[in-house]
C-alpha cells in the first residue's frame, strides 16, 4: 500500500479491499513512527483526518466517488485550510487557525481527498533547503544528514518516506521541482494562472504557483486535474476550459523534439548530476525522441533578476504583518531600520528579514529604475528566449538542480551559494512557463538526481506524457529510501 500509485489506491478503495479510514490510519501510523526523525509535518490531527476519511467512505459506499475520493493528501502549510493551524513556516503565523479554505484545498475537498496534515516549509517559502522554518529543519529521508530541498521540503520528505502518497507544494523559483529532485519524486509547477492562488499565502505574487508532488507523473496528472481551475477570487486565475491532465499519458514519444539549452549544460553542474541526466537523455532517444541544442542567453541573469523581483513583491506582501506601509514610496534607510526592528520583535526569521530589506531597497526612490525596472526588462527578455526556443523544440530538458542534496549548514552561511541552487528552475517562473522534475538516477552518496522538463504555456498534459513514458521504462520513481 505504501508504495502504491494513486490509481492503485483508488482501485483498492473502489473494490473495498481497504477503506479510506484504514488507509488514512496506515499513513497516520507511519507519520507517528517516522515524523519525529524527519520533521516533515508541522500539524497532524488524527481525529480530524479520520473524520474526513469517514465522509469519503460514505461517499464511496453511495457510489459517488471520483478518482481521488478517500485518498490522503498532505498540504503544504502555505495553504489556508479551515480549522487547521496555517503557519507558512513562520513564528509570525504560529497561532493562525485559518477560518477559510484556499481554492486548492476546496478543490481537493470536492474531490473527496483526506487532509493528512500540514507540511513543514521554509519560512514564507523563502529558501532552498528547509533550514529557515521556524519549526526546525526537515531531514532528507535518503540521508538525514542532508537537506530535503526547499521550500516544499516537508511535502517532498513526507512522500519520500512514504508518510503520504501525495502532497501539494508551491513554486516561486523552484520550490516544487528542487525538493522533488533532491528527494527522488515527481513534481509539477503549472503555467502561471492555472492553479488559483486564493488562500495560498503570498511570497511573490507574480511568480507563485501551486502544484502537485507525488511519486509519478501519472499521480501528478490526477492531482493537477483536481487542483487546476478558474477562480474569480484570484485576479490572475485564467478562465480556461477544465482539462483532464491524464488524457495523453500513453501517447508515444516518437519524433518528440527535446531542446537542450547550451547555457544549462556548461559549468556549474556536478559530474554525477550530468552523468544521470545524460543517461536519461539517451533513454529518451531510445523512446524515439531527438535532441536539439537551443539557447537561453539571458538565463544566466535569471537569479539576479529574481532576487530583485521576488523580494520586491515579498516586501510589499509582508508589510501586512507589521502594519508598515511602503512599496513604491519606500522610506529612507532610517525608516527601514525601524521596520527591521519591528519585524524582528514580531518574529520574522533572518532570511525573511533579508528579503524585506532587499525588497524595500530595490523599490525605493532613486533605486527603482536601476534595479526593479531593469529586472522587469530582463524578465521580458528571458520569456522571449523561451519563445524562440519553443520554435524549434517541443519540450526543454536540463538538470533540476546543479547538485544532489547537500549537508545541513553547507550553504546557509553564503546566500549566493544557496540562491544558485535554483539556477535551472528560476527562469521558468520568470517566464510563467510550466516546469517539472522527475527522478532520473542517483548521484554522490546515493542521493536522487532530478531531470527538469520545461514546457510551453499550457503544455502540462504533454509534459506529463513525456515524463510518464520515461517512467514506463525506468523505475527510479519507485525506489524508496530505507527509513
Pairing of strands 114-119, 72-76: parallel
Binding segment toward ligand GLN, per CB under 6 A, in 61-69, 125-133, 356-364, 401-409:
125-133
Under the criterion CB under 6 A, does residue 127 sit at the interface with ligand GLN?
yes
Q: Are the C-beta atoms of 429 and 481 separated by less than 8 Å?
A: no
Under the criterion CB under 6 A, does residue 133 sit at the interface with ligand GLN?
no
Helices 20-38 + 153-160 axis angle, to 10 = 110
Handedness of CA 21, 26, 32, 38 (dihedral sign): negative
Between 150 and 441, CB nearer to ligand GLN: 150
Terminal-to-terminal C-alpha distance of the chain: 16
Minimum distance from residue 150 beta carbon to ligand GLN (Å): 6
Binding mask 141-160 for ligand GLN (x = CB under 6 A): ----------x---------
Q: Which of 5, 10, 115, 128 binds ligand GLN (CB under 6 A)?
A: 128
Q: Which of 76, 118, 139, 215 is catalytic?
A: 76
Interacting positions 412-471 with ligand GLN (CB under 6 A): 422
Between 256 and 420, CB nearer to ligand GLN: 420
Minimum distance from residue 447 beta carbon to ligand GLN (Å): 18
What does the angle CA 318 – CA 322 – CA 327 come to, to the nearest 5 degrees?
A: 50
Nearest Cα to Cα of residue 450 among 247, 245, 217: 217
Between 173 and 261, CB nearer to ligand GLN: 173
Pairing of strands 395-399, 257-261: parallel
Mark whether 109 is an active-site residue. no
Beta bridge partners of 463: none
Binding mask 8-47 for ligand GLN (x = CB under 6 A): ----------------------------------------
How many other CB atoms are found less than 10 A from the CB of residue 387? 13
Between 67 and 359, CB nearer to ligand GLN: 359
Minimum distance from residue 125 beta carbon to ligand GLN (Å): 4
The number of residues that bind ligand GLN (CB under 6 A) is 13
What is the edge-to-edge ordering of all strands in the sheet holding 72-76? 41-43, 114-119, 72-76, 166-171, 209-214, 186-189, 435-442, 448-455, 395-399, 257-261, 290-294
Between 112 and 187, CB nearer to ligand GLN: 187
- Altogether, the residues listed in the chain come to a count of 483
Q: Which of 19, 151, 316, 401 is catalytic?
A: 151
Give the distance from CA 432 to its chain's centroid. 14
Between 27 and 203, CB nearer to ligand GLN: 203
Interacting positions 166-185 with ligand GLN (CB under 6 A): 171-175
Phi, psi of 296 (to 5 degrees): -125, 75
Q: Which of 60, 125, 181, 222 binds ligand GLN (CB under 6 A)?
A: 125
| b/e burial code for range 46-60 (CB count within 10 A of at least 16 → b) | eebbeebbeebbebb
Under the criterion CB under 6 A, does residue 79 sit at the interface with ligand GLN?
no
Nearest Cα to Cα of residue 43 among 35, 53, 51: 35
Handedness of CA 364, 366, 371, 373 (dihedral sign): positive
Q: How far apart, in whole angstroms, are the C-alpha atoms of residue 181 and residue 172?
A: 16
Mark whether 151 is an active-site residue. yes
Minimum distance from residue 410 beta carbon to ligand GLN (Å): 15
Mark whether 76 is an active-site residue. yes
Between 303 and 324, CB nearer to ligand GLN: 303
Q: What cell numbers appear for 389 in the block?
A: 526556443
Residues in touch with ligand GLN (CB under 6 A)? 125-128, 151, 171-175, 203, 310, 422
Q: Which residues are catalytic?
A: 76, 151, 175
Amino acid at each position: 500500500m505504501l508504495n502504491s500509485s494513486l490509481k492503485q489506491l483508488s482501485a483498492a478503495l473502489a473494490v473495498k479491499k481497504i477503506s479510506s479510514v484504514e488507509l488514512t490510519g496506515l499513513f497516520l501510523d507511519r507519520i507517528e513512527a517516522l515524523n519525529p526523525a524527519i520533521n516533515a509535518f508541522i500539524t497532524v490531527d488524527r481525529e480530524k483526518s479520520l473524520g474526513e476519511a469517514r465522509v469519503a467512505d460514505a461517499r464511496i459506499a453511495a457510489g459517488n466517488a471520483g478518482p481521488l475520493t478517500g485518498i490522503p493528501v498532505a498540504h503544504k502549510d502555505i495553504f489556508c485550510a479551515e480549522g487547521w493551524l496555517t503557519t507558512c513556516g513562520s513564528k509570525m503565523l504560529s497561532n493562525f487557525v485559518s477560518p477559510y479554505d484556499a481554492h486548492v484545498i476546496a478543490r481537493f475537498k470536492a474531490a473527496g481527498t483526506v487532509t493528512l496534515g500540514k507540511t513543514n516549509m521554509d519560512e514564507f517559502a523563502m529558501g532552498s533547503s528547509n533550514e529557515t522554518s521556524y519549526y526546525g529543519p526537515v531531514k532528507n529521508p535518503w540521508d538525514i544528514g542532508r537537506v530535503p530541498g526547499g521550500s516544499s521540503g516537508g511535502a517532498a520528505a513526507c512522500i519520500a518516506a512514504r508518510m503520504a502518497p501525495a502532497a501539494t507544494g508551491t513554486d516561486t523559483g523552484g520550490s516544487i521541482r528542487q525538493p522533488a529532485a533532491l528527494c527522488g519524486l515527481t513534481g509539477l509547477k503549472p503555467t502561471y494562472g492555472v492553479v488559483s492562488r486564493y488562500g495560498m499565502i503570498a511570497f511573490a505574487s507574480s511568480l507563485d504557483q501551486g502544484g502537485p508532488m507525488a511519486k509519478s507523473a501519472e499521480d501528478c496528472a490526477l492531482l493537477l486535474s483536481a487542483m487546476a481551475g478558474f477562480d474569480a477570487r484570484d485576479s490572475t486565475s485564467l478562465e480556461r476550459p477544465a482539462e483532464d491532465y491524464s488524457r495523453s499519458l500513453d501517447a508515444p514519444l516518437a519524433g518528440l523534439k527535446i531542446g537542450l539549452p547550451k547555457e544549462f549544460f556548461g559549468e556549474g553542474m556536478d559530474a554525477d548530476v550530468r552523468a544521470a541526466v545524460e543517461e536519461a537523455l539517451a533513454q529518451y532517444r531510445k523512446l524515439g525522441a531527438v535532441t536539439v541544442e537551443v539557447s537561453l542567453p539571458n538565463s544566466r541573469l535569471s537569479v539576479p533578476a529574481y532576487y530583485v523581483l521576488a523580494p520586491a513583491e515579498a516586501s510589499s506582501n509582508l508589510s501586512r504583518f507589521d502594519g508598515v506601509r511602503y512599496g513604491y514610496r519606500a522610506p529612507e534607510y532610517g525608516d527601514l531600520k525601524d521596520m527591521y526592528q519591528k519585524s524582528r520583535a514580531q518574529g520574522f526569521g533572518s532570511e525573511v528579514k533579508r528579503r524585506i530589506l532587499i525588497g524595500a531597497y530595490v523599490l525605493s526612490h532613486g533605486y527603482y529604475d536601476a534595479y526593479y525596472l531593469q529586472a522587469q526588462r530582463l524578465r521580458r527578455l528571458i520569456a522571449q528566449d523561451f519563445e524562440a526556443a519553443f520554435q524549434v523544440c517541443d519540450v526543454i530538458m536540463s538538470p533540476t538542480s546543479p547538485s544532489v542534496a547537500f549537508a545541513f549548514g553547507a550553504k546557509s552561511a553564503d546566500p549566493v551559494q544557496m540562491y544558485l541552487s535554483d539556477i535551472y528552475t528560476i527562469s521558468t517562473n520568470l517566464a510563467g512557463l510550466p516546469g517539472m522534475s522527475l527522478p532520473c538516477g542517483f548521484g554522490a552518496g546515493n542521493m536522487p538526481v532530478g531531470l527538469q522538463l520545461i514546457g510551453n504555456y499550457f503544455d502540462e498534459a504533454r509534459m506529463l506524457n513525456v515524463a510518464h513514458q520515461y517512467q514506463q521504462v525506468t523505475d527510479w520513481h519507485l525506489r524508496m529510501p530505507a527509513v
